Structure 1
């Protein structure tokens, strides 16, 4: 039988309701419960935001992207494509030419990210499911068409499939030129029709247009160069294993990026924010747990005679110390379990019934995204254990140092 735990439990359950020590202990439990609940909810919201980012970019992101280590483009040679397609797990390879270009429509213009894609792009990406107006086809009726982000279309007031007023894309020519008033001396220009509008994510919608690969190659004069190759992995294959196999086949001159690495800055920012939020709420939990320190200190004063009797009966200083450590642990545990149950319950309600909305008409989701993870619960539990020991150890040591003769 664990005597310190038994006595600690007795002290916890037998407190009188009007006892000031009992009131402070109850305040401690409520503080720990509220702090734990808030921590679980906030961490779950950050998990939901992280998954939301992945799902939004997943409509246009490939499984793997291959780019050059040096420079923004590389020479695409037949042996390279042969080695890549022969890599186990590779299902599809799409050629990409991407660069900034000046987009003109009637009397308006803006700089856009032009992405030229090969004809098999729609087997690679789910962007066709993000089309909100027009068609997803980039080539039909022997004409080239572009897909526009919703923000680009709105900025330039572009009309779809307007053959009387096509869009014009301009790209600077390489080399040095004499001063001239003729823009043809400085820019390569090509016309293209707007075929469809997509809505993926604001950063993409406000800056990207998709065009056929041949159109981009001719406008940019890229010849056999490409800025990237996008790889679709076979169903059931591990993306990490395929990534390592491609790296070995292509050598050190190429970078192979998976989905998270393609948006490493954004995902890292979310993780850093989540870490700082955890630290902040851990400090709040610490402040809430200071009441445990005060209640234990008062309990030590109140139970001096009991401790002296126990020591006179043969209880060691370690036993006395453990009584108050267990007492602090019980108070914190009751509050933590209550907070965990409330936090998990609120997150479940939000996941199931979408109670709290984003409150913005332009939001891509109606309610705050929430995702619970076991690691967050474990991390919160570890933090509470550490905080409880920190605030309980001083009163427990004071109790173990009581003089028996002075308190009998």
Structure 2
């Protein structure tokens, strides 16, 4: 029989406790419950946002991207493409030329991120599923067409398939001179292209990207055999991580091979850092709420001085007395934590199932706040509560075990 736990349970459920002690204990449980619930919900929201970012970019991101370690572009030769396509796990290789260009339409203009892609691009990208207007085909009847982000179309008020007003793209001409020519005809390469479709993926992409045929970008930028990247689709049944490591070993240090997370490492790292600081902040709030446990235990020690003296007279050691009050603090924290955990998980489940809380934006890609519960978050929350409970309970428990037997009998 665990005597300290038994006595602690009796103290916790005793109806003869002084009213103020009972009130403080209840406040402690409510504080721990609310803090635990809030921590579970907020961490789940960050998990949901992280998954949302991945799902949004998965519509346009390839499995792997190969780019030069140094410089903006690199030479792509037939032997290199043959080598890549022969690599185990590589299903498709798309050639890409990507750079900034000046887009003009009527009397409006803006700098866009122009991405020229080879014909097999849509065989590995799901961007065609994000189409909201027009067609995703970049070549029609031998003529090039551009696929625009919704933000670009809105900014320039572009009408699709307008053969009388094509898009006008300009790119600085590389003349080998440090100074740019003041004559516009000599300063820029210029080409026209028709607007064929509009996509809606994510604000950063929608507001800046246009997709064009590879040959069009190659001609405008005068890139020749140079490419800014090669996009790789991994075949079914193959691990992206394994194929990535294989390509890195075959290509050497002159190239870098990035998976989807590594392509957006800054954004995902920012979400993780924010999640960490939120965890620390709410853990601190839990600590503040748990200070009530310290006060309730301190008052309980004063109230139970005679009980402690009797127990010590009966042969209880100071360790046993200390454990009684440690268990008392643990019970208060446990009841609050379990209540908060159940409430937090229930609210997250309701949000996942029914989408109770809306994003509140008509243009949002999701109707409600995304949430995703992770077992690791629950474990970390439990560890935080255990550490906090021991921290606030140890002082009153030690004070109870150090009482003078003769003064309290």
TM-score range, shorter chain: over 0.9
CA distance in 2, matches of 1:247, 1:267: 23
Structure 1 spans left out of the alignment, 5+ residues: none
The match for 1:242 is 243
The match for 1:380 is 381
CA distance in 2, matches of 1:338, 1:177: 69
- The 3 A distance-change label for structure 1 pair 202 and 388 is same
Higher deviation after alignment, 79-88 or 118-127: 79-88
Q: CA deviation at 1:179?
A: 7.9
Q: CA deviation at 1:296?
A: 0.4
Q: Does the CA contact (< 8 Å) of 1:16 and 1:22 recur in 2? A: no
Higher deviation after alignment, 82-91 or 163-172: 82-91
Higher deviation after alignment, 72-81 or 2-11: 72-81
Report 1:161-180 matches (<5 A): 161-174=161-174, 175-176=176-177
Q: CA deviation at 1:178?
A: 8.5
The match for 2:49 is 49
Q: Does the CA contact (< 8 Å) of 2:180 and 2:187 recur in 1? A: no
The match for 2:24 is 24
- 2:156 is the alignment partner of 1:156: yes
Higher deviation after alignment, 172-181 or 41-50: 172-181
The match for 1:135 is 135
CA distance in 2, matches of 1:111, 1:17: 73
The match for 2:264 is 263
CA distance in 2, matches of 1:178, 1:307: 89
- The 3 A distance-change label for structure 1 pair 225 and 24 is same
The match for 2:14 is 14
CA distance in 2, matches of 1:346, 1:178: 62
The match for 1:292 is 293
- 2:330 is the alignment partner of 1:329: yes
Q: CA deviation at 1:310?
A: 1.0
SS of 2:311's equivalent?
helix
CA distance in 1, matches of 2:172, 2:371: 46
Q: CA deviation at 1:82?
A: 2.0
Q: CA deviation at 1:181?
A: 5.5
Q: CA deviation at 1:100?
A: 0.3
Q: Over residues 89-144 of structure 1, what are the superposed CA-to-partner deviations in whole Å (9 max), with x where a residue is unaligned?
A: 11111000000001111111111000000000011100000110000000011110
Q: CA deviation at 1:328?
A: 0.3
SS of 2:119's equivalent?
coil
The match for 1:85 is 85
Q: Over residues 183-217 of structure 1, what are the superposed CA-to-partner deviations in whole Å (9 max), with x where a residue is unaligned?
A: 12011111100000000001000000000001000
CA distance in 2, matches of 1:120, 1:195: 18
Q: Does the CA contact (< 8 Å) of 1:40 and 1:344 recur in 2? A: yes
Report 1:86-101 matches (<5 A): 86-101=86-101
- 2:400 is the alignment partner of 1:399: yes
CA distance in 2, matches of 1:22, 1:274: 35
Q: Over residues 278-310 of structure 1, what are the superposed CA-to-partner deviations in whole Å (9 max), with x where a residue is unaligned?
A: 111111100000000000001111111111111
Q: Does the CA contact (< 8 Å) of 1:17 and 1:23 recur in 2? A: no
Cα RMSD over matched residues? 1.2
Q: Does the CA contact (< 8 Å) of 2:101 and 2:114 recur in 1? A: yes
Q: CA deviation at 1:236?
A: 2.2
Q: Does the CA contact (< 8 Å) of 1:62 and 1:259 recur in 2? A: yes
Q: Does the CA contact (< 8 Å) of 1:114 and 1:208 recur in 2? A: yes
TM-score (norm 1): 0.98
TM-score (norm 2): 0.98
Higher deviation after alignment, 361-370 or 94-103: 361-370
- The 3 A distance-change label for structure 1 pair 355 and 10 is same
SS of 1:113's equivalent?
strand
SS of 2:193's equivalent?
strand
The match for 1:70 is 70
- How many positions carry a matched residue from both structures? 408
CA distance in 2, matches of 1:377, 1:37: 10
Higher deviation after alignment, 325-334 or 82-91: 82-91
Q: CA deviation at 1:16?
A: 3.5
- The 3 A distance-change label for structure 1 pair 117 and 407 is same
The match for 2:319 is 318
Q: CA deviation at 1:165?
A: 1.1
- 2:310 is the alignment partner of 1:309: yes
- The 3 A distance-change label for structure 1 pair 28 and 178 is closer
- The 3 A distance-change label for structure 1 pair 179 and 125 is closer
